[in-house]
Amino acid sequence: MSDFTAVGQPRPIIDGKAKITGTAQYVPDLQLPRMLHARLVPSSYAHANILGIDTSDALAVPGVVAVLTHNDLPDIVPNSRSNLLLARGRVMFVGQPVAMVLATSETAAADGAERVMVEYEPLPVAITVEEALASDAPLVWPNGIPKGSGDAGEHGADVGGGEVTHEGEKATNIAQEGFYKRGDVAAGFAAADVIVERTYTSPMVHQSSLETHGIIAQPDPISGGMALWSSTQDPFGSRKEVAGVLGIPESLVRVKGAVIGGGFGAKFTLYDPLVAVAARAVGRPVRLALTRSEELMATNPAPPIRVDLKIGAKNDGTLTAIQAHVFVDAGCYPMSIAKFVGFQLGSYYPVANLDIQAIEALTFKQSTGAYRAPGAPTAFFALDTAIDEIAEKLDLDPIEVRLKNAARPGDLLADGDPWPGMGMRETLQRVQAHPLWKNRDQARAEGHGVGVAIGGWMGGTSPAAAVCNVNRDGMVQIHVGAMDISGSTTGFTLLAAEAFGVSPDKIQIVASDTENSPFATGTGGSKMTYTTGVAVVKAAEEARRQVLAIAAEEFEAAVEDLEIVDGNVQVRGTPTKSIPLGEIAGQGMKFDSDYPPVFAHGRTVITDQSPGFCAQLIEVDVDQETGEVKVLHHVTVQDVGRAINPMAVEGQMMGGSTQGLGWALYEKMTYDEDGQLLTGSWMDYAVPDSMQVAPKFEAIIVEVPSEHGPFGARGVGEPPVTPTAAAVANAIAHATGVRMTDLPMTAPTVLRTLHGQNGQS
């Protein structure tokens, strides 16, 4: 029986009704007086010099007000992706914005964009990592590679380990090179009774939010400032970037977080500075809402990754050595995720002998970025299918092999730091007890396969703050700077209600406006509840203390003798002697008051991670004549620490697992040898829909409380996407006996593997 009154109670998402009824206001729904509509003119080459831009025909289109090129924009150092603005003299990927058309309507802007004529001088390209690493490869950044994006750090993927530097050497396309070493891998493999050695690949995968990127920028002619409405995951990060590009103090930039129709890591600051610069150039509000084609061609999808993996084990399943080479294709701008992929390969099953090398290379494609647990789906696809194959070769139970080698608190991570407390083993034990696993032999007898895999996420950390006040009507207001994408506002409501001692209906969350919200970092890395949630609890507890202090004087009673019941403060055990919360708050709002206002703040900086783990069971049917894979039963088990809102937690678990099916079976951004995107619409780029979800889908919550999260909560969003591809691959192997090593496992790919045409089966 739970001791909590609000935490742990299922509650619908606060803005859910507005979203499903179409009344939620997204950026494309917002209208400002004299607002202009923007359309981008994309590069048609992956690498070329820009010889000239003719805007005369575009300016002749009725409704077109201006056509901006790099000549109209500030010349700034491109020290972040969002500072690339418009191409200046040279393009680096197909789809890179070369010009921006501003018009009084979307139609006029689109017509104008089609009439901008750009003259190019094509240059050599390097589209794959192998081409980019060649000694004679054309350089993406001939004058030096800029610093990487902040995506890795925002998501808790900025890790230690060895770093290879190339300062003073000839320029290359290598953006990051690192390593993790421990023990003697040669001796480890010599001691092994079985070795699995394979190459695993995953393609570029897009986040594919239902809502594309949208920004409105409105200049203030009096102060010289700028206001933005943005579908950003990081309002304060956007403010910083916009202020830097405009050359004005951050205090003159206001970013109001709009309702977001999905982020998944894609909506960290990208086009906000460009729209702000355009608005300042014309002195009018400007809105940019990307088309689906622009979204696919010119944002920041997950990078293609190749993992060359070798693992050795003894006959009892004990791992003896792990060796890996990781190659990450970051596109045209550094992402700094390669080392983290290697870190994951060397951390979850600690071994005495470890040798992992990781390289991130730049190519002439769009820049890549975070996608829900960046790098982890590929890492676990490689790692957990290899572990499964070891168990198969040794004729051992696959879960028992995982349990034998699974990390425990205090074991060493790849970088030598100790593992914090976590529930890796508990999630494995929970799937081990599931009937689907116990009856897997029966499933195979029916022609099906059942696969298991585990994945996880270390968890993001960050500073955060919250403010709490109580109004005369008894409503408790909580002010936070965090963007709500997945229901964090509802979670904060439950946390505040629990900490203050009132019904969730008495809590109001005010969020995401940099002008009047306390600071929060970007929403990503499964850290909002874990970090901002702690600040919310502290603020609510302090406000409660202030309320009780006022009530104690009014009652002439001790604070410890008071309680809050049904929105009233009363003397414990004497309900007839009570004062409504609003009346107490009002005591501090009178001109002749003896009390200060009820106004509290909570702040925190959490530097310790609380990893979350997710284990999945998947039953598949494989058509051996066509290669089609159908998922019949999907079980996702996750350690969430404490389920603040079980309804939302289960939704996150199922949603993330479904995105994992996209990685596993459907999604792949394909480029030709010239860098042209061949999957530039949802007609060509396959995203799983409701018909691809397993007809039987279970979400099972495990709670191993975190030491630092509010009421023991851990991050929830990232882990469920991480094990799905491996679980599907292991299910295919269970059904057919062949091992899949390339994502996505489409019907043609599976069929070729069944026929032994991939060279690895």
Q: Which fold has domain 305-460+608-754?
A: Aldehyde Oxidoreductase; domain 4 (3.30.365)
Is beta strand 448-457 parallel, antiparallel or unpaired with respect to 612-622?
antiparallel
**In the chain, where does the domain assigned CATH 3.90.1170.50 lie?**
31-123+213-289
Radius of gyration for the alpha carbons in the chain, expressed in angstroms and rounded:
27
**Quick check: 142 pLDDT over 60?**
yes
Residue 147, pLDDT score: 78
**Which has the minimum average pLDDT: 68-82, 230-244, 313-327, 435-449?**
68-82
As a whole-number percent, the residues of the chain with pLDDT over 90 amount to 93
Q: Identify the H or E element spanning 189.
A: helix 185-190
**In the chain, where does the domain assigned CATH 3.30.365.10 lie?**
16-22+462-606, 305-460+608-754
HSE of 496 in the Cβ direction (CA atoms, 13 Å)? 33
Alpha-carbon span 477 to 550, nearest angstrom: 18
Query: Mean pLDDT across the chain, nearest whole number?
Result: 96
CA angle 575/578/580 to nearest 5° reads 125
Residue 573, pLDDT score: 86
Q: Where residue 234 falls among pLDDT bands split at 50, 70, 90?
A: very high
List the structure tokens of 443.
């499933």
Q: What does the pLDDT average to over 14-26?
A: 94
**Quick check: 719 pLDDT over 90?**
yes
Contact residues for 676 (Cβ-Cβ < 8 A; gap 6+): 46, 94
Q: How many CB atoms lie within 10 A of CB 608?
A: 11
Alpha-carbon span 521 to 536, nearest angstrom: 15
CA angle 296/297/303 to nearest 5° reads 80
As a whole-number percent, the residues of the chain with pLDDT over 70 amount to 98
Q: What does the pLDDT average to over 740-760?
A: 89
Alpha-carbon span 569 to 746, nearest angstrom: 62
Nearest Cα to Cα of residue 660 among 616, 714, 623: 616
Q: What does the pLDDT average to over 658-686?
A: 98
Q: What does the pLDDT average to over 415-435?
A: 98
> What is the sign of the dihedral through the CA atoms of 190, 192, 193 and 194?
negative
Q: Which 3 state secondary structure label does DSSP give 630?
A: strand
**Quick check: 313 pLDDT over 60?**
yes
Alpha-carbon span 110 to 97, nearest angstrom: 14
Starting at the earlier edge strand, list the strands of the sheet with 117-122: 90-91, 48-54, 117-122
Residue 167, pLDDT score: 66
Pick among 3.30.200.20, 3.30.365.10, 3.30.360.10, 3.60.110.10: CATH of 16-22+462-606: 3.30.365.10
Q: Which 3 state secondary structure label does DSSP give 747?
A: helix
Alpha-carbon span 125 to 90, nearest angstrom: 13
Q: 294 and 216 in contact (C-beta within 8 Å)?
A: no
Q: Does domain 31-123+213-289 have CATH number 3.90.1170.50?
A: yes
**pLDDT: which is higher, 2 or 78:** 78
**Quick check: 759 pLDDT over 70?**
no
Q: Give this prediction's pTM.
A: 0.97
Alpha-carbon span 50 to 447, nearest angstrom: 58
Give the 3-state secondary structure of 518-557.
Answer: CCECCCCCCCHHHHHHHHHHHHHHHHHHHHHHHHHHHHCC
